[in-house]
Amino acid sequence: MKLNVIIGVVLFSASLAVYGAIGKDLRGLPGNLASDEDQQIMREAILDALENQPDNVTTGWKNPLTGSNGIIRPVETYERDGMHCRKLRLRNNIDEQSNEWMFNFCKTPEGDWKIAP
Protein backbone atom coordinates (compact mmCIF):
# COMPACT_ATOMS: atom_id res chain seq x y z
CA MET A 1 0.00 0.00 0.00
CA LYS A 2 1.52 3.27 -1.10
CA LEU A 3 1.42 5.91 1.62
CA ASN A 4 1.17 9.59 0.90
CA VAL A 5 3.21 11.30 3.59
CA ILE A 6 2.52 14.92 4.40
CA ILE A 7 5.72 16.47 5.67
CA GLY A 8 5.22 20.21 5.65
CA VAL A 9 8.83 21.22 5.41
CA VAL A 10 10.65 23.51 3.04
CA LEU A 11 14.28 22.68 3.63
CA PHE A 12 16.93 25.03 4.84
CA SER A 13 15.46 28.46 4.39
CA ALA A 14 15.74 31.46 6.60
CA SER A 15 11.98 31.46 6.76
CA LEU A 16 10.77 27.87 7.08
CA ALA A 17 7.35 27.28 5.59
CA VAL A 18 4.84 24.53 6.19
CA TYR A 19 4.04 23.06 2.79
CA GLY A 20 2.41 20.22 0.88
CA ALA A 21 2.83 16.50 0.47
CA ILE A 22 6.03 14.54 0.72
CA GLY A 23 5.26 13.19 -2.74
CA LYS A 24 4.77 16.70 -4.11
CA ASP A 25 7.47 18.22 -6.28
CA LEU A 26 9.16 20.87 -4.13
CA ARG A 27 11.36 22.41 -6.82
CA GLY A 28 11.27 26.16 -7.05
CA LEU A 29 10.06 26.82 -3.51
CA PRO A 30 11.89 29.64 -1.72
CA GLY A 31 14.85 28.52 0.33
CA ASN A 32 14.86 24.93 -0.89
CA LEU A 33 18.48 23.76 -1.22
CA ALA A 34 17.90 20.03 -1.44
CA SER A 35 18.11 18.37 -4.83
CA ASP A 36 15.20 16.30 -6.11
CA GLU A 37 17.23 13.19 -5.29
CA ASP A 38 17.94 14.46 -1.75
CA GLN A 39 14.24 15.06 -1.22
CA GLN A 40 13.28 11.60 -2.45
CA ILE A 41 15.87 9.83 -0.29
CA MET A 42 14.79 11.89 2.74
CA ARG A 43 11.08 11.18 2.09
CA GLU A 44 11.73 7.45 1.98
CA ALA A 45 13.75 7.61 5.22
CA ILE A 46 11.00 9.61 6.98
CA LEU A 47 8.35 7.13 5.86
CA ASP A 48 10.50 4.22 7.02
CA ALA A 49 11.01 5.87 10.42
CA LEU A 50 7.28 6.56 10.80
CA GLU A 51 6.33 3.02 9.86
CA ASN A 52 9.15 0.88 11.22
CA GLN A 53 11.51 2.51 13.71
CA PRO A 54 10.94 2.28 17.47
CA ASP A 55 11.08 5.42 19.58
CA ASN A 56 14.56 6.77 20.33
CA VAL A 57 16.24 4.80 17.53
CA THR A 58 18.08 7.04 15.09
CA THR A 59 18.28 6.24 11.39
CA GLY A 60 19.97 8.19 8.66
CA TRP A 61 19.79 9.06 5.02
CA LYS A 62 22.54 10.08 2.61
CA ASN A 63 22.77 10.98 -1.03
CA PRO A 64 26.22 9.85 -2.21
CA LEU A 65 25.91 12.05 -5.31
CA THR A 66 25.49 15.34 -3.40
CA GLY A 67 26.88 14.50 0.03
CA SER A 68 23.62 15.67 1.61
CA ASN A 69 22.60 13.67 4.65
CA GLY A 70 20.47 13.66 7.74
CA ILE A 71 19.18 11.76 10.70
CA ILE A 72 15.65 10.92 11.78
CA ARG A 73 14.64 9.85 15.27
CA PRO A 74 11.12 9.04 16.42
CA VAL A 75 10.91 10.39 19.95
CA GLU A 76 7.34 9.57 20.94
CA THR A 77 4.44 7.40 19.78
CA TYR A 78 0.92 8.28 20.91
CA GLU A 79 -2.78 8.22 20.00
CA ARG A 80 -4.68 11.37 19.03
CA ASP A 81 -8.32 11.52 18.00
CA GLY A 82 -8.22 7.78 17.32
CA MET A 83 -5.12 8.04 15.08
CA HIS A 84 -1.67 6.51 15.53
CA CYS A 85 0.78 9.44 15.87
CA ARG A 86 4.54 9.92 16.12
CA LYS A 87 6.80 12.80 17.00
CA LEU A 88 9.96 12.90 14.84
CA ARG A 89 13.18 14.84 15.23
CA LEU A 90 14.76 15.60 11.85
CA ARG A 91 18.27 16.95 11.34
CA ASN A 92 19.64 17.54 7.84
CA ASN A 93 22.94 18.73 6.38
CA ILE A 94 22.63 20.08 2.85
CA ASP A 95 24.91 22.46 0.99
CA GLU A 96 26.98 23.15 4.14
CA GLN A 97 23.86 24.12 6.12
CA SER A 98 22.48 22.16 9.07
CA ASN A 99 18.95 22.47 10.37
CA GLU A 100 16.89 20.58 12.90
CA TRP A 101 13.11 20.31 13.32
CA MET A 102 10.57 18.46 15.40
CA PHE A 103 7.32 17.35 13.73
CA ASN A 104 4.22 15.48 14.88
CA PHE A 105 2.70 13.13 12.30
CA CYS A 106 -0.58 11.23 12.58
CA LYS A 107 -1.71 8.35 10.37
CA THR A 108 -5.19 8.84 8.95
CA PRO A 109 -7.70 5.99 8.60
CA GLU A 110 -6.83 5.98 4.87
CA GLY A 111 -3.20 5.20 5.71
CA ASP A 112 -1.70 8.63 4.99
CA TRP A 113 0.73 10.30 7.40
CA LYS A 114 -0.12 13.96 7.98
CA ILE A 115 1.45 16.75 9.97
CA ALA A 116 -0.40 17.13 13.25
CA PRO A 117 -0.69 20.47 15.07
pLDDT tens-digit series, residues 7-39: 333 332 222 333 333 333 333 333 357 888 998
Total number of domains in the chain: 1
- Rounded-to-integer distance, Cα 11 and Cα 101, Å: 10
Count Cβ neighbours within 10 Å for each residue of 8-35 and write b for 16 or more, e otherwise: bbbbbeeeeeeeebbeeebeeeeebbbb
- Is 70 exceeded by the pLDDT of residue 79? yes
DSSP 3: -
- pLDDT at position 11 is 30
Look up the domain containing 79 and give its range. Answer: 1-117
Helices (H) and strands (E) in the chain, counts: 1, 5
pTM as predicted: 0.72
